[in-house]
């Protein structure tokens, strides 16, 4: 029985340390089936998501969902610490390590107290080990606790830097595509400013952003649960709007070279497919058509009026449908899992951008008459 308890405590310590290493230090996706962090997030997100679904869509639900990312990370750290303290306490108890205890005989609670004070290097000295091996274990646990807490605290800035870089680019999309963003607004605002040449650097920037999202959220999947500053923005809606824009350009917008759109589409599609794979989300059955035939006609009319005519004929329709089928099932799966609303191809009316609003009024008076920098006239689209 004592041997089994020693083995159990050793396994517990090893599992916690290895899980923390994979979650915080290892810069690549982990593929083996059992992981404590994966089990932790699946179970806690399921409960949190169920609670959120009981609320009506709105600010209260969005606030609740935004709390899950940081709170779950703190809870995961706490569970690792509890696991290590319990593992060393169980190891002391199973080996019967002699200790000096002012209260008398040592039981499991005594060893748990010894392990906790050792892990956090409190140094009270009221309960101390007497045997050589017991002292060795306390030294090992004290060093491990110090290194573990330092490592975890040191990686917190890495997570928030990745989150900040992601959100900066999402914020830049507000004036270029509206909030929530849409492919129609991206193209209309470029067209109205007659800045067609800026589509290539714009898509190149988003190609790099998609690569950064893929790299950071594969290494740290918890970042996928972190939500944007505004309720009408998200990393998934931004990625979907960029994919929609690339699909339209590749299918055929006259007078625009689709090469950069193909590169951005490939990188963005890679991101959504791999993230759906990480969270084990099979593509669901389509819930609703994101681009109906009537909306496609409306889209053609808007772009034609802005000087960006779409190619005509069944070849365009077939190509656009083929491209959409390559990514829409995966973004739909991610949207259902994270409770995110996907953007529309075509909006019924021009969106009011976040920069146009204030806490006191729905829209800042006279905002449409603000002077624009030279070359940025396309920002005025939809104002």
* Residue 295: partners with Cβ closer than 8 Å, 6 or more residues away: 344, 345, 346
CA–CA dist 179, 382 (Å, integer): 11
* Residue 287: partners with Cβ closer than 8 Å, 6 or more residues away: 332, 336
CA–CA dist 143, 141 (Å, integer): 5
Locate the domains of the chain by residue range.
2-154, 173-380
Only one residue has tokens 């995966």, namely 330
Chain centroid to Cα 200, Å, comes to 26
CA–CA dist 165, 210 (Å, integer): 11
* Residue 349: partners with Cβ closer than 8 Å, 6 or more residues away: none
Q: Which H or E element spans position 99?
A: strand 99-100
CA–CA dist 335, 352 (Å, integer): 23
Report the pLDDT value the prediction gives residue 260, as an integer from 0 to 100. Answer: 93
Print pLDDT tens along the chain (383 aa).
678 888 999 999 999 999 988 888 876 676 666 788 889 999 999 999 999 999 998 889 999 999 999 999 999 999 999 999 999 999 999 988 888 888 878 888 999 999 999 999 888 888 889 988 889 999 999 999 999 888 888 888 888 899 999 999 999 998 888 888 999 898 888 887 777 778 889 999 999 999 999 999 988 899 999 999 888 899 999 999 999 999 999 988 877 888 999 999 999 999 999 999 999 999 887 777 888 888 888 888 888 888 888 888 888 889 999 999 999 999 999 999 999 999 988 877 777 788 877 666 555 444 443 333 333 333 333 33
CATH number for the segment(s) 2-154: 1.10.287.70
Report the pLDDT value the prediction gives residue 155, as an integer from 0 to 100. Answer: 83
* DSSP letters spanning 78-95: HHHHHHHHHHHHHHHHHH
CA–CA dist 5, 203 (Å, integer): 58
Only one residue has tokens 């140094």, namely 123
**Exposure of 88 in the CB half-sphere (CA atoms within 13 A):** 30
Residue 222 gets which letter from DSSP? Answer: G
**Over the Cα atoms of the chain, what is R_g?**
27
User: How many Cβ atoms from other residues are within 10 Å of residue 261's Cβ?
Assistant: 23
Instruction: Say if pTM beats, i.e. exceeds, 0.75.
Output: yes
């Amino acid at each position: 029985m004592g041997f089994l308890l020693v083995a159990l405590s050793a396994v517990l310590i090893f599992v916690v340390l290895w899980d923390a290493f994979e979650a915080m230090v290892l810069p690549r996706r982990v593929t083996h089936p059992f992981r404590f962090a994966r089990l932790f997030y699946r179970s806690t997100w399921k409960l949190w998501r169920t609670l959120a679904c009981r609320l009506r869509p709105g600010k209260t639900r969005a606030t609740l969902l935004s709390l899950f990312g940081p709170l779950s990370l703190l809870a995961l750290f706490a569970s690792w610490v509890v696991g290590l303290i319990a593992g060393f306490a169980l190891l002391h108890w199973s080996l019967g390590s002699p200790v000096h205890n002012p209260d008398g005989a040592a039981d499991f609670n005594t060893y748990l107290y010894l392990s906790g004070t050792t892990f956090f290097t409190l140094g009270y000295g009221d309960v101390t080990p007497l045997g050589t091996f017991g002292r060795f274990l306390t030294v090992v646990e004290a060093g491990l606790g110090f290194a573990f807490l330092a490592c975890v605290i040191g990686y917190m800035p890495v997570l928030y830097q990745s989150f900040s870089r992601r959100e900066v680019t999402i914020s830049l999309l507000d004036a270029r595509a509206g909030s929530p963003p849409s492919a129609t607004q991206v193209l209309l605002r470029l067209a109205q400013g007659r800045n067609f040449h800026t589509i290539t650097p714009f898509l190149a920037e988003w190609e790099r952003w998609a690569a950064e999202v893929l790299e950071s959220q594969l290494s740290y999947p918890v970042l996928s649960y972190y939500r944007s500053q505004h309720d009408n923005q998200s990393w998934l809606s931004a990625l979907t709007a960029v994919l929609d824009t690339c699909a339209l350009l590749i299918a055929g917008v006259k007078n625009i070279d689709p090469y950069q759109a193909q590169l951005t589409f490939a990188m963005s599609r890679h991101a959504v497919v791999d993230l759906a794979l990480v969270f084990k989300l099979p593509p669901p059955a389509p819930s609703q058509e994101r681009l109906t035939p009537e909306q496609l006609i409306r889209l053609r009319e808007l772009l034609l009026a802005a000087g960006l005519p779409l190619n005509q004929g069944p070849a365009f329709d077939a190509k656009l449908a083929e491209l959409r089928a390559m990514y829409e099932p995966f973004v739909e799966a991610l949207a259902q899992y994270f409770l995110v609303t996907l953007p529309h191809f075509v909006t019924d009316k021009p969106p009011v951008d976040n920069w146009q609003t204030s806490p006191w009024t729905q829209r800042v008076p006279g905002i449409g008459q603000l002077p624009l920098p030279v070359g940025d006239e396309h920002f005025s689209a939809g104002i």
